[in-house]
Amino acid sequence: MAKTKVWAHRGASGWDKQYAPENTMPAFEKAVAMGADGIELDVQLTRDGEIVICHDEKIDRTSDGTGWLKDYTLKELKQFSFSKPHPEYGKVEIPTLEEFFAMMRSNHLTVNIELKTGVIYYDGLEEKTLNLAHKMGMESRILYSSFNHYSLQKLKHIDPKAKIALLYGERFIDIPDYPKHLDAVAVNPPLAIVTEEYITKCHAHGYAVNVWVVDPRVEMKRMVDLGVDAFFTDCPDNGRKIADGDFSGII
């Protein structure tokens, strides 16, 4: 059984102030420092067509600005600070995907790019993201996911070699057929639906299982014991210890 990988969800975003503002460079740098095996992030497009990293379609929760991200140019978004839940970080700019890739050149971590095309469909996001990944030599390290499976289908159509994971919130009825139809290499299910039977079935059909979002340490241990391929966590330092077999303090 391969060792379970630890993927930092929105970087080392954490449950509390000991971590960093989600989906920002400090959170990504912290995830690398904490020994994560990979980083998950969310991408959207600015009004002038730049790929930026942000989870919500509106910037109110994470920045000192208001409104829809899609209505701002990159230059305008860069004026805001995206450290709202962590004011101790001072001004933190919204990162572009290009800035993130530049930082990641100094390591070999996996990158899970989630295309945020579920609420707003960003025309061209798939193609722009693929082009940038190729341009910056990141392609082999990327796993693309989205709740919008049409986006993944489109991505595969543009680049048949792109690795995709079906991200979802409810259980599929037909595990072997549905991911096969989209030529996915993995499924990314929520923690709530993961059972031993489910994992066995996915693995029997050749699909990696990457589980989101696993923050309680006892659940991290359960994922390791069940042999999931990776789990997404806001606390990659805890995840690192548990994936390495340090179960101290877990009842």
Q: Which residues bind Ca ion (CB under 5 A)?
A: 42, 114
108 is catalytic: no
Interatomic CA distance for residues 219 and 232, integer angstroms: 12
Residue ranges that bind ligand G3P, judged by CB under 6 A: 9, 40, 42, 55, 114, 145, 167, 188, 212-213, 232
Interatomic CA distance for residues 215 and 234, integer angstroms: 6
- Residues in CB range of 129: below 8 A, 6 or more apart: 43, 51, 97, 113, 115, 144, 155
Q: Exactly one of 55, 86, 149, 203 is catalytic; name it.
A: 55
Tokens of 111: 């990158």
Give which of ligand G3P, Ca ion, none residue 232 binds (C-beta under 5 to 8 Å, depending on kind). Answer: ligand G3P
Please, which residue, 43 or 106, has the CB nearer to ligand G3P?
43
Minimum distance, C-beta of residue 114 to ligand G3P, in the bound complex (Å) = 5
Give which of ligand G3P, Ca ion, none residue 167 binds (C-beta under 5 to 8 Å, depending on kind). Answer: ligand G3P
Please, which residue, 63 or 90, has the CB nearer to ligand G3P?
63
Contact call for residues 242 and 221 (beta carbons, < 8 A): yes
E strand or H helix at 35: none
Minimum distance, C-beta of residue 248 to ligand G3P, in the bound complex (Å) = 27
203 is catalytic: no
CA angle 230, 18, 37 (to 5 degrees): 20
Please, which residue, 136 or 213, has the CB nearer to Ca ion?
213
Q: Known catalytic residues?
A: 9, 55
